[in-house]
Structure formats: C-alpha cells, structure tokens
Structure 1
Amino acid sequence: MRHQQVVAQIRVLMQHSLEIEVSELAELDNQADLLGAPLFLDSIDMLQLIADCERHYCIKLYPQRHTLRNCVADLATLIISQLGQTQVAQQHLHRFMASDGSHYDEAGLVELLNRVLSFSPELARLSKTEEVQVAQQNAIALMLTVFSLLLSGRTPVLGGNDGLSWQQLCAGTDNGEPATPHCTGLDASLMHRLGNARVGFLTSGSTGKPNLFFKSLHSMWSEAEGICQSLDLSGYALINALISPQHMYGFIWTWLIPIRLNKPVFYQDAQYIDATPCGELSMLNILVPSVWDLLAHENLTPGSAVISSGAPFGARREAEFATLQKTVPQLSGVEVLGSTETGGIGFRTIAQDCIATFTLFSEVRLRLDDQGTAILHSPYLLSDHPEFVMMDRIALLSDGRIRHLGRKDKVFKYKGKRLSLEEAKQRLQVFFGTAPLKLFFVEDDNDKRGGQLLAFVETQSQQHPCEQALRDAFRDYPVPNIALLPSFPLNQMGKTTLSSLLEVTHAKQ
C-alpha cells in the first residue's frame, strides 16, 4: 500500500512539474524507462523530478539515486527506504541539544519552566516594573531564563555578561509539583500568548555606541514566519546553531525558527565547534561570516545549507563556498541582510546572486526619498517605529530587488562589533591636537578581526605617539597604523582619497 501511494504521488509531481498530460501518464508503466517510450524524458527532466521528490518528502536521494533504474517503481522504492532511514536517525535526536552534552525534549523543558514559575524564590523577588539583565550562559539555559521571565510578566534584557542565570532561578525549586501549569508547550500558541511581551537586546547598533533596543515577541515571531514563507527550510533534519540566541539574529534563527519548524537544534560552543549528532543527515547551519572560517568544511553534509548574517559574507568566502559546492552535493547558502533595528530586510543566494543584490522579504517595503535616502517599512521594526531611515546606500532595481552599496554612516565592524570612526578620530586627536587627520577602516576578508584602521596626519613633525599610550587610548578599538605626511595629496576635484594617501605613503617609505 505504501509503495502504491508513493507511486501515485510521483505521477502527480510529474504532471505538475514536468507538464506531462494525464493521458500520457496513463500509458506509462511503472517499470518503464522514463528516458524511453512513451515519455522520452531527458536528463534535465530527471534531475527536476528527483529534486521535486526530495522537496516533497523532505529527504535527500543523493548519492543513491545514481544506482536507480530510471523508472517510477525504483524511485518509489528508494523514497520509502530514505524515509525509513531518516526517521530512524531522527529518533536519536533530542529537540534541544548543546555541545556541553546537555539535551532536552520539549516536555522536559516545559516541566522545568513550570517548576521555576511555581516555586522559584529568585523569580518571586524580581520586580515586574524593571528590566532584568540575563547572564551569558549555555544557550538552552539562556532561553529557559528568558521564557521564565516572559511567562512571569517580566522583561528580559540580553547581550551583557552578568545578570540573572538559570541556576539562580532553579535554586529552591526541588520540592512540590506545580498545581497549574503556566506553560503547556513550546509552540506557536505560546508565542501568540506572549505576543505583547518584549525582549531587550544590548547591541552596538548603527551608531557604533552601545544601545538597548526592545523587540516584541510578536514582531520576532512574525519575522520567523516571514522567513519560513520566503525560504524553504523544512527539509533539514537538524539546525546547527553556531551563534548565540543572546543576539536578535540568533534569537530568531536558533530559537524561534526551530520552534516554528518543529526541528531539533544543536547549540555549539562559541569557542569550539563540535561535531553534530546528526551524522549524514542534512543540516541548516546558522552562522556569522567570522564563524565560517572556523567551521570544519568536512562537517558540511550533502544537502546542507548555510545561513549567514551580521556582516558581509565577502568575496573570499563567496569563492570558497563556490569551490565547496563542487565537492559537497546540494550545498546551498543564503546571506540575510538586516540588523537589530530593522529586523530582516532581504536575502540572497550565496555563490549565485550578485554579492550586493538582495530580494526583500515578502512583508518588507523600501523606498527612496527625494534625497535618495532609503526609507524602510516593515512589521519587523522596533516597537512603535512605523518606518526606519537607513544609514545605507541603496539602489532599487527594476525587478524589485535592491542593491546594497555600503553604509552612509562612518561605522566599521571590528571583531564583530560596530565601532564609530568619529570616536576613533577624537581619540587620535588627543595626540595630534588640531592637525588635520584622515582616518579609514580598510576591510580585509583575510583578517579574522575584519580589517585594519589607517590614520594619516598632516604635520611637519615626525614624532609618533608613545606606543603604550596609544594602546591605552584605543583599548577597545583597533590601534591605528599612523602615517605622518607633510601635506595631504589633492586630486583634480580638490579631494584627498585613500588611494592617493597610500600612494604617497608607499613612495615615502
């Protein structure tokens, strides 16, 4: 019976995807060679049919498909076999796992939440009118802490090192059984119930200075829904979380999306990337570009995907990814454009789309005002913000996509943090007074820190600042490489460019 059902489904897929007439399918024997009579399909048609079967059944048929006879009966047999293997493998996966060995099923987490909500003295002590800073900790413990606070009517704040821990909440909760469950499951109904609750994220933001932003759970859950509508994420056996949920990108992608998809998730340690427990099953790897350099590429199983955000993926990684696609079957990648302030804006396919061209998420709208400033309209913005003025240079393309041309503001990313170029300039002026300064941050894909800070000073002096004093002044910033020049070069437009400064500096050396 199962074989007949799969055969019938394959025929439906052939009808819709390959546009084969019902009358032609009626003449097709299940043992007949699809490359021969009566259909005479070609190799491209077969690849399309295999891909449709993989998407429909959420399985991967590589490399076994190359041993197939090109007939419906053998394809149905292989699909049933792969479905069985996938189910057996997934039975060994817990719903929430971490590289430190901790693991929980949904029922176990719900039980822990209800115990803390009913009996925790620490939770009862906390004010409901003040935000609660959450300590940096194991990702599962972090999210248990967050949802304990949300379910008890409190507002958690993420992004700092110190604060409330799950261990503190659990103290004194060993005795008794909760009379009434506060939480019955980690699912969409819980997210809708907590829709008006807010989560705070401490981030460097687009100003380069630390800021506290609040997002409603409703907004973030809507974004998770929108992502799942725009991207087909249902076919992966495991979500491999290579970032922490203490940042909004990680909160949505490694906590809300696994709940939305009802998929197991494995939280990696930030300092050491471990092997996942899924074996050869396909994985959805959630990361930032700097983690790509640490990811053991041999761990990328056939049919896996990479989701990257937080910084440009970059030309070097793009080339590496394209090379890997030649050896890892069906490896795919998506880069997501967005920030804490904006939420997700758009996405592009790595090693396929132009490196700066993005498709907007379905609920996102973007327009340019008379001065060419990009105005973003999105349900994923911060609370009470109907629109957002972007500090980025954006071009609107005729096909509805956008081209991201870089930042307008003088902000650069170093070691994953957004820093202010103006702040760096002010620190340097302490040493050179009113002397003209030119400061540039040069991004470098080969530098894991992000690049280097270059400073040019127009002065007749050749006296460099004391190295230790300079390091003290730039303790949380990159120490600039300083070039002292008697005068800045000017081009025909009367402007000084980085290329001309570098040329003069090299000539001087």
Structure 2
Amino acid sequence: MAERIAIEQLLSQGRPARFPVALRDGAALGFEDFEVRVAGWRAAFAARDGRRWALYFEDTFEFAAAMLGAWHACKCVYLPSDIQPATLERLRGEVDGFAGDVPATLEPLAFREGPLGWAALVSQVKNLVVYTSGSSGEPVAIFKHLGQLTREVDTLANLFDARLGDESRILATVSHQHIYGLLFRVLWPLTSGHPFLARALPYPEELLAVLETGPAALIASPAHLKRLPESLDWSRGRPHLHAVFSSGGPLPTEALHACRTLLGQAPMEVYGSSETGGIAWRQRAQDDALGWTVMPGLEVQLNDEALAVRSPHLPDDGWFQTEDRARLLPQGFELLGRKDRLLKLEEKRVSLSAMERSLVAGGLLREARVVPLREGLRTTLAVVACPTDSGAKHLAEGGKRALNQALREQLAREFEPSVLPRRFRYLEAMPVNSQGKSTEAALTALFDSRRPPLRVLEHTAERAVLSVETPASLPQFQGHFPEKPLLPGVAQIEWAIQWGQELFALPPRFLRMEVVKFQQLIVPETLLTVELTWTPAKGSLHFKYTSATGTHGSGRVLFGEVQG
C-alpha cells in the first residue's frame, strides 16, 4: 500500500516521478506531471493580485492541480456548484477572479526549468469556501481551513483504505465541486495514493465499461444508485468493484436492494453535511434498519431530540447543532428525519415535517415533501410525492383526484381541515440538484401555473409515456394568437425537458437541440400523448407529441455532465 502523505506535505515530500495520480483517456498521469502542472498554476496565481479565486473545472486532474497551485500561492479557493449566469454574477461580488472552464479566466503559466522549492502548507489558514444549497436553494458559503480537510481525509483513510486494496482506481459519478466529491474523489486519493479518473462517469454504460478494466472503488450518490439499469450485465464489472460509497442524501431502500443485487454489495453510506463534514457511516449488507456508527474521534449527543456533534472535522471543539432528529444507540444512532419545520397557517401552527411523516406512514406514498405556496394574499400547502405500488394502483384506477382525496382523508385524522394540502404532484422520483438535494425552490416550481395536468402511463429507466391535458386556461395559450390560440413550439420543448429531468437521471447541462419538427398545431383542450425516450450513452432525450389527429411535434435534446 502506498505511503499516506498529508495534503500539507504532498508537494514538499513528493512521490516517485511515475507514481500514478490520475487516469485520462486510458493513459496514466504521474506525480511528475502533476507537480509540473501545480507549479504552472502556482506561478499564475502568484502573479495576480487578490486572494479569493473561484475554481470550476470539468477535468478532475486539472482541478486538483489548480487547487494545489492556488493554495501554494497563498490563495483561498471558492468552489461554486455550477457556472450558470446567475451563479457567476453572484460570485463576482465575492471573489477576485476565476480559473477553469469559465470564459476570460486565469490560465497556468508555462513551467520553467529549475528547482520548484515547495514548502509545506499551513494547516490553520482558511483556504477553502464550499457552498451548500440548504432547504431554500439559496447558496450559503462555508469557510474551511486546511487542517479540517486533513483531519477528515485521515479519518476516511483509517476507516476505508483497507477496503480499497493497493490497486483500486477511484471512479465517480459525483462532482468534485462539492465537499463530498472533493474529499472522496480528490483529497483522499491524493493523500493515500489511489489514482482517480480525470472525468466523471454519469452514465451506467460508461461506468460498467471502466469497471471491466480493473479494480476500482465507486464514489456515487443516491440519485445515481437508485437508477442503475437492470438491463446491463453488471456481473462483468462486479469482481473488480472493491467498494461503493454513497453520500449527499438518504439512500432509499429500493436503491440499497438494487446495489446488493446488481453490484453485489451494499454501499458504504456516509452521513454528514458541508458544515460538519463526515459524522457517521454504515454498510447495510443485510439489515435494512442498521444504525449509524459514529466516526472515530467524534462525539454525539441529543438536544431537544436533535443530533449535536463535536468533531475534529469542525473548525473548533464546540458542539454543532444539526436539524436531524435521532435516537441514540450503543454504538451510534438512528436518524428519525428532519426536525419539525413549523409554519403558521390560518392562525394555527403546523408541523410540515409531521405532515410528511403522516403521509408516508399511510402506505400510499414512499416519499413526500410538503411545501408552502403563496397564492395572492394566502399561503396554502402543497404535496410533492412518490407513490408506492399501492398508491400507484390507486392513481391508475381512480385518477389523481381519488388519490388526493385519500391522502386528505388520511391527514384529516391528525390535522384540522383548514390546513390540509390543496395541491398535489406525483412523481417517479424527487427532483434533485447536483448535490443530490431536493430544494424547496425546485419543489415549488412544480406548481407553476404553466405546467399542464398530466398522468404517467408508462415509465422505465429509458422510456416514459405521458397523458397530457391542455386546458384553455394555460398561460402558454395567452396572446398566441388572439384570434386562434395555439401552443408554442418552445412550450413543447420546455415541457419535454422538464418532464425528462423528473423522470430520468439526465445530466444537468443542456447542450443543444437536433431535428426538432412541428408537424401539426396544438389547440386548447387537445389530449396529448407524449413519448420520451432517454438514451444515456448519447446523452439524448427524444420527445414526440401525438394525439388522435396524428403527430404534432418531435425532436432530440442533448445533455452533458456539469463541468466538474
């Protein structure tokens, strides 16, 4: 097993020139390649004023080199989760410059011959800012110093190095722009000597192909693990898969069972947050209800039923209060859901968390989120839910109205009629962002008046058929055209993308559209059948709108992974 080197001493101590750091397009990139690239980035950062620099890279090797180069130039690295225009605009007020896959940014300088002169990094300096979306979706900056990262990486190595063995490569479906990906995909491999793949593997077909080539560990998220297609022959890669890790959100029971069956093992689940770092872990090899084991060196306690933690992964030795309810066990704890979210509605205090627990306990839903909607001067409640098989049967036999009524009757046993939810949306899976979280903003968007009523008639990992109503009240018909309302083509494309994101594991980055055709006009009150076909290997979402009169529109939308 390779010698472990703390990130502070990685460059000053070094490794042999050809020691593999990363793999790109089948070729190994050695430590000498890495050192030269870090030196180029260090020179580039040192030549520029300002200490705060935002980094965003598609290539993980280049990202790691730029981050180490920035740290060795005494800069503080900011890690945005995406490079959408709104994100970049917000960052311009927080940082002094950008490096990576953003136009008009810093570039590394050419390496000049001579001694590199590496000094050890200082552990106590705050040199990293990560962002967490929280429940509202608004990004919150979290400052960390290098010592926190080093201690957490050391914890991971002590817990999991032996499981990986000497030859495992690190494969990932998650981004290094978030703390989970940064720790597991970059810092832990660098310090323990495990080569990492320089690109993410968002598609199962790609993952399986790489797995077949040799020993590996997979850094994944629940969003990816719950969409493993049974159609692939996972037995070809199973012997090479030494470990699977999952973090960023709860791993659903059905995803756990799929991993056991398809991958031949249960994932190592890691519980924590951007603020706290890792807190606990578990591997549910047989027991679905297995509790969480506290990581070495950490302490936990309950305050008003919510978990508090004291940890070397925190900036100080004080207690950090989480919002997660828990029950303590001899070796750890059991999580009981988020602490009650209280809302005053119709002059009554309502626990949204309690309402969610009640909805799931009824057996018709496997997952439910209650969100407040502001409608004029009133606030009402809405439910976004994923039905169980029993709930889906209820939906198929009686329609949406019947399931809505069954859930309202169920809630009426515990909640007053005036606070019961008025609107419902049923999905195959909750919408998640690149951090694997369902934000309130994304859930609220599902109740936009621009969204038409629909039912899911068929749904597999790569195909869905929807029945879509087009009432005359839809805003898309307004003003297009005054004499004869028609559904614009852009609305058809917008709907196809939105539904594709809800039904399939689409990469979040829109690339382009191809062969888009609109053959027949869609007028109000047309009952549409929409067929969506997702081809992961090509990143292609094909859509087709038909009705009793024939085909109305079709086309392809291409997606790529978020840069990072």
The two structures have a TM-score, normalised by structure 1, of 0.59
Identical pairs, percent: 21
Q: 1:368 to 1:105 in 2, by over 3 A?
A: same
Is 1:95 equivalent to 2:21 in the alignment?
A: yes
The 3-state SS of whatever aligns with 2:239 is coil
Note the C-alpha offset of 1:228. Answer: 2.2
1:70-219 aligned at under 5 Å gives the runs: 94-98=20-24, 103-118=28-43, 120=44, 123-128=46-51, 131-159=52-80, 160-161=82-83, 163-165=98-100, 169-173=106-110, 176-182=112-118, 193-194=122-123, 196-205=125-134, 208-219=137-148
Is the radius of gyration larger for structure 1 or structure 2?
A: 1
Note the C-alpha offset of 1:125. Answer: 1.5
Task: Decide whether the 8 Å contact of 2:386 with 2:428 is kept in 1.
Answer: no
Note the C-alpha offset of 1:259. Answer: 2.2
Partner of 1:394: 326
Q: 1:267 to 1:116 in 2, by over 3 A?
A: closer
Is 1:251 equivalent to 2:174 in the alignment?
A: no
Note the C-alpha offset of 1:379. Answer: 1.5
**Aligned residue identity for 1:285:** L
Task: Decide whether the 8 Å contact of 1:123 with 1:169 is kept in 2.
Answer: no
Partner of 1:307: 245
1:487-498 aligned at under 5 Å gives the runs: none
The 3-state SS of whatever aligns with 1:177 is coil
Note the C-alpha offset of 1:221. Answer: 1.5
Note the C-alpha offset of 1:294. Answer: 5.0
Instruction: Identify which range, 295-304 or 311-320, moves more after superposition.
Output: 295-304
The 3-state SS of whatever aligns with 1:367 is strand
Note the C-alpha offset of 1:234. Answer: 4.2
Q: 1:124 to 1:465 in 2, by over 3 A?
A: farther
Distance in structure 2 (CA, Å) of the matches to 1:311 and 1:220: 20
**Aligned residue identity for 2:244:** V
Distance in structure 2 (CA, Å) of the matches to 1:468 and 1:215: 46
Note the C-alpha offset of 1:466. Answer: 4.5
Question: Which structure 2 segments of 5+ residues have no match?
Answer: 3-17, 89-97, 342-351, 354-368, 388-426, 433-437, 448-470, 478-490, 503-564
Partner of 2:407: none
Q: 1:321 to 1:93 in 2, by over 3 A?
A: farther
2:308 is matched with which residue: 367, 375, 393? 375
Q: 1:278 to 1:300 in 2, by over 3 A?
A: closer
Note the C-alpha offset of 1:366. Answer: 1.0
Partner of 1:447: 429
The 3-state SS of whatever aligns with 2:57 is coil
The two structures have a TM-score, normalised by structure 2, of 0.54
Distance in structure 1 (CA, Å) of the matches to 2:154 and 2:336: 28
Distance in structure 1 (CA, Å) of the matches to 2:384 and 2:26: 41
**Coordinate RMSD, CA, aligned:** 4.1
The 3-state SS of whatever aligns with 2:267 is strand
Question: Which structure 1 segments of 5+ residues have no match?
Answer: 1-55, 58-91, 184-189, 413-420, 456-462, 481-509
Distance in structure 2 (CA, Å) of the matches to 1:275 and 1:324: 11
**Aligned residue identity for 1:242:** T
Distance in structure 2 (CA, Å) of the matches to 1:390 and 1:217: 23
1:305-454 aligned at under 5 Å gives the runs: 305-324=243-262, 328=264, 331-355=265-289, 357-369=291-303, 371-381=304-314, 383-384=315-316, 386-397=318-329, 399-408=330-339, 410=341, 425=372, 428-429=373-374, 432-435=375-378, 437-442=380-385, 446-447=428-429, 449=431
Distance in structure 2 (CA, Å) of the matches to 1:250 and 1:317: 20
1:197-276 aligned at under 5 Å gives the runs: 197-205=126-134, 208-231=137-160, 232-235=162-165, 237=167, 238-269=169-200, 271-272=202-203, 273-274=206-207
Is 1:291 equivalent to 2:214 in the alignment?
A: no
Q: 1:254 to 1:195 in 2, by over 3 A?
A: farther
Note the C-alpha offset of 1:355. Answer: 4.2
Note the C-alpha offset of 1:446. Answer: 4.6
Residue correspondences, number: 352
Distance in structure 1 (CA, Å) of the matches to 2:72 and 2:259: 42
The 3-state SS of whatever aligns with 2:37 is helix
Partner of 2:527: none
Give CA-to-partner distance per residue, 1:85-104, whole Å, 9 cap, x none.
xxxxxxx9942124x56741
Distance in structure 2 (CA, Å) of the matches to 1:368 and 1:384: 19
Q: 1:141 to 1:195 in 2, by over 3 A?
A: farther
**Aligned residue identity for 2:383:** F
**Aligned residue identity for 1:288:** S
Note the C-alpha offset of 1:345. Answer: 1.0
Note the C-alpha offset of 1:212. Answer: 0.8
Task: Decide whether the 8 Å contact of 1:144 with 1:166 is kept in 2.
Answer: no
Distance in structure 2 (CA, Å) of the matches to 1:250 and 1:403: 25
